[in-house]
């Protein structure tokens, strides 16, 4: 696959588009590997990790615990502040913006091939949701 675009120049919504898929896949793998295999239960379980509310919660925790680098915070804010023309089904606009920021951060880490950091943050996120 040719990489003709610098991920650091992408807008927040493009980063979020990628991050949504990357985080969703990580959650799906986690659920499968923990023994959940019934499709309906998988979907219901996945929702608790990937909903806008869950992602906004995770972002708040990451910022509160100062887990993000300055650069990571910049890309979170790029996504959070991006003007989206779609609305979340089950979240207010503030929550949806925070969720978009979360996804932009994940997309940024993925597209800049920061694999170890991405794995570290996604593992932390999954564990945080499981505490709830």
Has residue 3 got a pLDDT over 80?
no
What pLDDT, on the 0 to 100 scale, is given for residue 127? 95
Residues 50 and 129: beta-carbon distance below 8 Å: no
Token digits of residue 35: 């023994």
As a whole number of angstroms, the distance between CA 27 and CA 35 comes to: 13
Q: Which domains does the chain have, with CATH numbers?
A: 21-131 (1.10.1520.10)
Separation between Cα atoms, residue 98 and residue 116, nearest integer Å: 23
Q: Among all residues, which ones are annotated catalytic?
A: 20
Residue pLDDT, tens place only, 54-96: 999 999 999 999 999 999 999 999 999 998 777 667 788 899 9
Instruction: Find the distance separating the first CA and the last CA of the chain, reported in whole Å.
Output: 39
The residues, any chain, with a CB within 8 Å of residue 49's CB and separated by 6 or more, are 27, 30, 125, 126, 129
Position 101 confidence tier, pLDDT thresholds 50, 70, 90: very high
Query: What's the CA gap between 6 and 50, in Å, rounded?
Result: 27
């Amino acid at each position: 696959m040719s990489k003709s675009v610098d991920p650091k120049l992408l807008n927040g919504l493009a980063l979020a588009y990628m991050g949504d898929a990357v985080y969703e896949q990580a959650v799906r793998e986690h659920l499968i590997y923990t023994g959940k295999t019934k499709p309906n239960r998988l979907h219901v379980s996945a929702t608790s990790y990937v909903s806008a509310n869950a992602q906004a919660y995770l972002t708040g925790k990451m910022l509160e615990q100062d887990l993000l680098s300055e650069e990571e915070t910049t890309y979170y804010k790029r996504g959070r502040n991006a003007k989206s023309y779609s609305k979340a089904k089950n979240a207010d606009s503030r929550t949806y913006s925070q969720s978009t920021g979360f996804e932009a951060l994940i997309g940024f880490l993925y597209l800049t091939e920061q694999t170890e950091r991405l794995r570290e943050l996604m593992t932390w996120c999954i564990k945080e949701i499981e505490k709830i």
